[in-house]
Amino acid sequence: MKESKLCKIVKKTERVPGLFDMELYAPEAAREAVPGQFVHIMCPSFENIFLRRPISICDAKDDCLRIVFEVRGKGTYSLSRCQVGDEVDVLAPLGRGFEISRERYRRPLIVGGGIGIFPLYALAKQYQGSAEVFFGFRDQSRVVMEEEFRAVSKELTVMTDDGSNGNKGFATAPLEERLKAGEGDIIYACGPMPMLRIVKRLAEEYKVKAQVSLEQRMGCGIGACLTCSCETVFPGTWKYQRVCLNGPVFWADEVTLHD
């Protein structure tokens, strides 16, 4: 079983209010990590409650794991209060990452929404400029990492719900345009459930392979508690799988993605 490690925070930036970019010194995990995997990190609460929370690995380089997270509740708030030099207890890397092949997939399409864009950075980097990327954000105030993604992608299209940055609408609209034009031999997606459902439908309609990364609430993070179960298709029937262990990345035709 994977053991947790104390990792020093070596960098911390607040990108936009409530959204933190952190680098953790974790040489072994950084060497082992593949895009799509996550860390289960102990968030030292101000109430002396210790909570582990799953956060995607945004990048792994120079012996460090980079994570970018939004403050949502108690766990992420207490993590955001940690400072450079503090040590945090980290289990990493966990889960199944994306299937990546520059030989098999020459025209990858990547789609992300909100906090779902972060695991897609290491993925886009692996494709060395051949991936087209489509992002959706609520509004201009939540748009982050635009230049970083542009630098590692063939093209980046940013959409916002209110049109305050880029075009107005959802990221799946320009994605569908590319599929209609016959582009894309694989789609990778991470974001809110309605976005993942559209990606699953488009993949079926245009007969393109797709992988989706699920953000399920988690308990143990290592397959022991079943908190993170999701329904998956099994020949002729269905079965539950654990997002922390069998995912978070699944083939789109593998998961049912119910409302």
Ligand X SMILES: Cc1cc2nc3c(=O)[nH]c(=O)nc-3n(C[C@H](O)[C@H](O)[C@H](O)COP(=O)(O)OP(=O)(O)OC[C@H]3O[C@@H](n4cnc5c(N)ncnc54)[C@H](O)[C@@H]3O)c2cc1C
Q: What residues make contact with ligand X under the rule CB under 6 A?
A: 38, 51, 53-56, 68-70, 72-76, 115, 118, 215-218, 248
Residue 221 contact, options ligand FES, ligand X, none, Cβ 5-8 Å cut-off depending on partner type: ligand FES
Q: Which of 247, 197, 253, 220 is nearest to 36 (CA)?
A: 247
Supply 231's token pair: 């329904």
Least Å distance, CB 165 to ligand X, is 19
Length of the chain as a residue count? 259
Least Å distance, CB 214 to ligand FES, is 11
How many residues bind to ligand FES according to rule CB under 6 A?
A: 12
Q: Which of the ranges 6-14, 88-96, 101-109, 213-221 carries the binding residues for ligand FES, by CB under 6 A?
A: 213-221
Judged by CB under 6 A, does residue 221 bind ligand FES?
Answer: yes
Nearer to ligand X, 41 or 156 (CB): 41
Residue 223 contact, options ligand FES, ligand X, none, Cβ 5-8 Å cut-off depending on partner type: ligand FES
| 3-class SS of residue 151 | helix
Judged by CB under 6 A, does residue 52 bind ligand FES?
Answer: no
Answer for the pair 15, 144: CB distance below 8 angstroms, yes or no. Answer: yes
If one counts every other C-beta atom within 10 angstroms of the C-beta of residue 220, the result is 16
Judged by CB under 6 A, does residue 218 bind ligand FES?
Answer: yes
Judged by CB under 6 A, does residue 242 bind ligand FES?
Answer: yes
Judged by CB under 6 A, does residue 227 bind ligand FES?
Answer: yes
Answer for the pair 145, 68: CB distance below 8 angstroms, yes or no. Answer: yes
Judged by CB under 6 A, does residue 220 bind ligand FES?
Answer: yes
Residue 191 contact, options ligand FES, ligand X, none, Cβ 5-8 Å cut-off depending on partner type: none
Count Cβ atoms within 10 A of the Cβ of residue 201 and give its class: 0-12 exposed, 13-18 middle, 19 or more buried.
middle
**Cα pseudo-dihedral 255, 34, 102, 106, rounded to 10:** 40
Supply 142's token pair: 């939540």
Residues 122 and 173: their CA atoms lie apart, in Å, by 24
**Residues of the shown chain interacting with ligand FES in the complex, contacts defined by CB under 6 A:** 218-221, 223-228, 242, 244
